[in-house]
Structure 1
Amino acid sequence: MVLLDLLMPPACASCGRSGTLLCGRCLNGFVKASRPAERFLAPDRGVVVGESLAVGMAAFAYEGPVRRALAALKYSGASRLAPILAGICEASLGGLLAISGPATLVPVPVHPERRRARGYNQAELIAKPLGRAARLPNAEILDRIRPTTRQHRLNRPARLANLRDAFAMRTGAQVRPVVILVDDIITTNATLEACAAVLRAAGCETVYGFAVGREV
């Protein structure tokens, strides 16, 4: 890491300031998620409720420096942002664990083609340090079996149609009774719902969702 920083000095993913991957000023601009994307459960905690999904919670509003940091992680190869983002989400995950109890973290999978192009799955990179900090197991038990159109310009019905039959249990995967799906962004909740439906059909008792950002 030190050698890498010497060869490629870090710059803030949000404002470009040199010296750190996320500067203090931009971190101070991270706004806690304050209202749900759909139905209300606890408006002050950025919570949404679904059908297969028991509760989905995001740590921050997906705007400003949060949006720019997640875009850098997802589209610009800034994989070193993942543990930083995970670290500042630990308290919010603790709020969800107060509801869920002990659980297994399951990253939302990306299609193999997208993983090869990007070099990683950003949800996995966020889930692993979250699991270590919370002493929770990580399990990659879902696969994305069908490539899908990028979701960000689709409305909720189109997102649901786009994700139909996109996910499946990984061959030989062990079903866990309580799962927290981990993703980078919650927009309309469609991705978490699609994953939760597969997990519930496989025998998972309760599925929760957690993300760094939620669309405002």
Structure 2
Amino acid sequence: MALLEMLLPPACAGCGRYGRLFCEDCQRSLQSLSRGPNHFSAPDAGTVVGDALLLAHTAFAHAGPMRRALQRLKYGGAARLASPLARAAAPALLALAAVTGPATLVPVPVHPARLRQRGYNQAALLAKALATEANLPVADLLVRRRATTRQHGLSRAARLHNLRGAFAIGGGRLVPASVIVVDDILTTSATLEACAVVLRAAGVASVFGFAIAREV
């Protein structure tokens, strides 16, 4: 497979046409959910999603080419997609960073068994690529202590219960004052909230969330 990828041009993850990993036509067709800084500073704006997580923001709707691209990244071994997806989502992250001020990107961790199976953590790849695009620091502060059952189809309350005790701060890691937790897809924000609870308990003053796409 690696040899074929070297010999053949890449196929777009959104439409399948050969030439680019994520073609310009597919990128232009994405449904943007991005907002400017004023969206967050208005009294009734922003998405307040939990006690520990101040707010979360996403770049695109999880639909069409974006849904297919994230599926390829997460389950299809297409690790190289992290870079073009992060590049497309960077303006939305910068809009959030204009509100949060200096913050460190922290990816949602996966369980070691899942990491061995998949070969990489897609959230970590996206966080590192986003850090490059937005000129922000990135740190693997969190670890996943236990595997959890599938979240699909669960309510927000059930997801939070499922994630209780799943995350922890990695040993000996210094925590920054402000963090933006990065994930690929936001559904109910339960995963980001569970991470935020751990980060706040460890001394992080402000925790925000960012995802490439959101279920709408």
Taking the aligned partners of 1:75 and 1:26, their CA distance within structure 2 comes to 20
Question: Residue 131 of structure 1 corresponds to which residue in structure 2?
Answer: 131
1:28 deviation in Å?
1.4
Taking the aligned partners of 2:47 and 2:119, their CA distance within structure 1 comes to 30
CA deviation string 1:121-150 (max 9, x = no partner): 001111112112222111101001010112
Taking the aligned partners of 2:184 and 2:85, their CA distance within structure 1 comes to 10
Question: Residue 87 of structure 1 corresponds to which residue in structure 2?
Answer: 87
Question: Residue 118 of structure 2 corresponds to which residue in structure 1?
Answer: 118
Mind listing any 5+ residue stretches in structure 1 that lack a counterpart? none
Taking the aligned partners of 1:125 and 1:34, their CA distance within structure 2 comes to 21
CA deviation string 1:59-88 (max 9, x = no partner): 001111111110110000011100000001
CA deviation string 1:17-67 (max 9, x = no partner): 1111112221111101279xxxx9689xx9421220011000001111111
Question: Residue 141 of structure 2 corresponds to which residue in structure 1?
Answer: 141
Taking the aligned partners of 2:126 and 2:156, their CA distance within structure 1 comes to 25
Normalising by structure 2, what TM-score?
A: 0.90
Residues 83 and 126, structure 1, Cα contact 8 Å, conserved in 2: yes
Question: Residue 48 of structure 1 corresponds to which residue in structure 2?
Answer: 47
Normalising by structure 1, what TM-score?
A: 0.90
1:199 deviation in Å?
0.3
Residues 108 and 183, structure 2, Cα contact 8 Å, conserved in 1: yes
**Alignment of structure 1 residues 150-161 onto 2, 5 Å:** 150-161=150-161
Taking the aligned partners of 2:41 and 2:184, their CA distance within structure 1 comes to 21
Question: Residue 186 of structure 2 corresponds to which residue in structure 1?
Answer: 186
The DSSP-based 3-state class of the residue aligned with 1:208 is strand
Matched pairs, number: 209
**CA RMSD of superposed structures (Å):** 2.1
* AA aligned opposite 1:74: K
CA distance 1:127–1:153, change in 2 (3 Å): same
CA deviation string 1:99-120 (max 9, x = no partner): 1001111011011111110000
The DSSP-based 3-state class of the residue aligned with 1:157 is helix
Percentage of matched positions with identical amino acids: 57
Structure 1 residue ranges (4+ consecutive) displaced by more than 2 angstroms after TM superposition: 3-9, 40-43
